[in-house]
């Protein structure tokens, strides 16, 4: 037996075979509130870029990004109303990605001596010829 109504009496006079309502019906005010919160957090992220608070800038930016990602996952991906198993799968996937990134970052130290430090002479000369006065990237040499 299907979940769709087939007669005019069952559908209340509406079209036969109409599809049932599926999914989570989220109130419009909640979506507007979450959207406004995301917009405000974006403004905070941009504002922090222009305020010099040292190395704390990246901490604030990453914190705001974490809050924004959480809001999107909870409300726009409907994880707030979904089964907890789906949330567990999502969080497990994020943890696995973070773990793999941590292993990759640890592995880059092994190849530190092979990495190029500074600008190649030809690249710097080309940059000065095509864009005089442009800032040239200077990297700090690695010292263990």
Closest alpha carbon to 68 in 90, 37, 96? 37
- Together in a domain, 105 and 74: no
Query: How many domains does one find in the chain?
Result: 2
- Together in a domain, 34 and 73: yes
Burial class of 73 by CB neighbour count within 10 A (0 to 12, 13 to 18, 19+):
middle
The reported pLDDT for the residue numbered 40 is: 96
pLDDT tens digit string along 60-77? 999 999 999 999 988 888
- Together in a domain, 73 and 103: no
Residue 134 lies in a domain: no
- Together in a domain, 33 and 60: yes
Q: Are 118 and 136 in contact (CB under 8 A)?
A: no
The reported pLDDT for the residue numbered 5 is: 47
pLDDT tens digit string along 4-52? 545 445 555 556 666 666 666 788 899 999 999 999 999 999 998 888 8
Distance CA 113, CA 142 (A): 8
Residue 61 lies in a domain: yes
The DSSP string of 53-72 is -TTHHHHHHHHHHHHHHHHI
The reported pLDDT for the residue numbered 2 is: 47
Residue 124 lies in a domain: no
The reported pLDDT for the residue numbered 92 is: 93
pLDDT at residue 113 is higher than 60: yes
- Together in a domain, 29 and 60: yes
Domain boundary among 41, 57, 82: 82
Structural domain containing residue 35: 25-82
- Together in a domain, 77 and 92: no
Instruction: Enumerate helices (H) and strands (E) in the chain, giving the number of each.
Output: 4, 0
- Together in a domain, 73 and 87: no
Domain boundary among 37, 61, 82: 82
Quote the pTM value: 0.55
- Together in a domain, 76 and 99: no
pLDDT bracket for residue 118 (50, 70, 90): low
């Amino acid at each position: 037996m299907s979940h769709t109504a087939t007669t005019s009496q069952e559908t209340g006079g509406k079209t036969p075979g109409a599809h049932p309502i599926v999914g989570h019906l989220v109130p419009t005010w909640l979506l507007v509130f979450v959207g406004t919160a995301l917009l405000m957090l974006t403004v905070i992220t941009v504002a922090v870029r222009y305020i010099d608070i040292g190395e704390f800038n990246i901490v604030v930016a990453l914190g705001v990004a974490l809050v924004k990602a959480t809001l999107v996952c909870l409300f726009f991906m409907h994880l707030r109303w979904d089964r907890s198993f789906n949330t567990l799968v999502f969080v497990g996937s994020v943890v696995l990605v973070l773990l793999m990134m941590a292993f990759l970052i640890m592995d880059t130290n092994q190849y530190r001596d092979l990495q190029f430090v500074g600008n190649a002479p030809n690249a710097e000369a080309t940059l000065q010829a095509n864009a005089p006065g442009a800032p040239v990237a200077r990297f700090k040499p690695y010292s263990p």
